[in-house]
Amino acid sequence: YQYSISFRLTFCDLRSKGEHAGEKLIILEPYKIPNRGPYPFSQPRQNTVRFTPTQIEGIKAGMQPGLTLIVGPPGTGKTDVAVQIISNIYHNYPDQRTLIV
């Protein structure tokens, strides 16, 4: 069996609200993909590309602040990794603009 579970982790600093001054709260809740409509083209697409462990490390590195350089010979999936990083940034931060250079 294969299970796919996504979580969104939120860090809240309650000092700004005056409650429990100095205490930090971590809220962990499952991330639910919003329903975008009744039509098949409205539903979010599932990733059909299978990534290798090295590619997954590249995707994780690309999601961190700073620069990430992905190198490799032709046909190793550099473009797939770049597309996945861009997709992750776009879907995790929908209210922000993404600059691709």
Q: Tell me how far apart the alpha carbons of residues 6 and 29 are, in angstroms, rounded to a whole number.
A: 9
The model's pTM: 0.54
Q: Tell me how far apart the alpha carbons of residues 69 and 64 are, in angstroms, rounded to a whole number.
A: 12
Q: What is the pLDDT of residues 18-77, one digit of tens each?
A: 555 555 666 667 767 677 777 777 666 677 778 999 999 999 999 998 889 999 999 999
**Cα within 13 Å of Cα(91), Cβ side:** 14
